[in-house]
Amino acid sequence: MSKNTCELINDLLPLYADNVCSEESKAAVAEHIADCDKCRTQLEKMGRPISVDPAEDIAVMKRIKKRIHIEKIVIGALIAVVVMIALFVLNFFLFAADFTMDYYDCNLAKNIAVEEDENGDVWLIRKNEACEAWHMFPNMIDANGNTLFDKDFDKNNIVAQCYTLKVRGSTAIGNRSVVMGGIEEQEFLFNKNDKPNIETIYYYDDTNDEMYVLWERG
Ligand SMILES: [Zn+2]
């Protein structure tokens, strides 16, 4: 069984106390007892001279150096692993994850609207905070209320569309005031005449499973 650093230092303490060990050993003991109360106390208890074989001193010194070297490698590797895990988690939760814009927190009642122009083109208009969305996630709803993700979804009987605004984690957690008032973006959705079955457009808050009507066929 190998000895730990304290045990190895303890082997050297009598030599150190008598000032008969090598300069290298002396330095190693001095360094260790500066941080280790146990070994320092042990040294303070020593007063009696002991005769030691210098060959033993060198062998102990080699074992201490090896032990310290291994400890440094293990601690370094552990720190590297912990740092990598922390960065991965940070990246995932702060920067790579998407968050749904909350209808109330982001003032979406005021900041998103669906409007149609004289050609029957239907537009999604986003203002202010709603412009922070990096992704507009669309979905469709059939006459039975199923969406694209339901297995019974009837793609030949789509009666409504819904949209969910997503922000990147960095934006969701960061300062909302980055986007000042007055910004407006328009996005073409579809032509009303090309999709005569679409009756309603909703904002869909998929976190709380709430739908808000943005547009109804007039
Ligand atoms: Zn110690």
Using the mean position of ligand 1's atoms as its centre, give its distance from the Cα of residue 99 in Å: 51
d(CA 206, CA 191): 26
In tens, the pLDDT along 139-160 reads 999 999 999 989 999 999 999 9
The identity of residue 108, as a single letter, is L
Domain ranges in the chain?
5-96, 108-216
Q: 161: pLDDT confidence band, cut at 50, 70 and 90?
A: very high
Tell me the CB-side half-sphere exposure of residue 174, using CA atoms within 13 A.
13
Using the mean position of ligand 1's atoms as its centre, give its distance from the Cα of residue 187 in Å: 70
- Which residue intervals of the chain are DSSP H helices? 5-17, 23-35, 37-45, 54-90, 108-111, 169-173
The 8-class DSSP code of residue 147 comes to: B
Question: For position 177, what pLDDT does the model report?
Answer: 44
Map tokens 């973006």 to a residue.
185
Question: For position 172, what pLDDT does the model report?
Answer: 52
In tens, the pLDDT along 85-122 reads 998 888 777 766 788 888 888 889 999 999 999 999 99
d(CA 181, CA 130): 11
Does 54 have pLDDT greater than 70? no
Q: 180: pLDDT confidence band, cut at 50, 70 and 90?
A: low
Pairing of strands 200-205, 158-168: parallel
The 8-class DSSP code of residue 92 comes to: I
Q: What are the distances in angstroms from CA 42 to CA 7, 14, 17, 37, 217? A: 11, 10, 10, 8, 88
d(CA 47, CA 198): 95
Using the mean position of ligand 1's atoms as its centre, give its distance from the Cα of residue 19 in Å: 19
Average confidence (pLDDT) over 184-211: 91
Using the mean position of ligand 1's atoms as its centre, give its distance from the Cα of residue 110 in Å: 67
What percent of the chain has pLDDT above 90? 36
Does 53 have pLDDT greater than 90? no
- 44-58, 104-118, 179-193: which range is least confident on average? 44-58
Using the mean position of ligand 1's atoms as its centre, give its distance from the Cα of residue 42 in Å: 9
Using the mean position of ligand 1's atoms as its centre, give its distance from the Cα of residue 34 in Å: 9
Q: 176: pLDDT confidence band, cut at 50, 70 and 90?
A: very low
Question: pTM of this prediction?
Answer: 0.55
d(CA 173, CA 167): 10
d(CA 127, CA 184): 4
Using the mean position of ligand 1's atoms as its centre, give its distance from the Cα of residue 73 in Å: 19
Encoded tokens for 183: 């910004």
Question: For position 1, what pLDDT does the model report?
Answer: 44
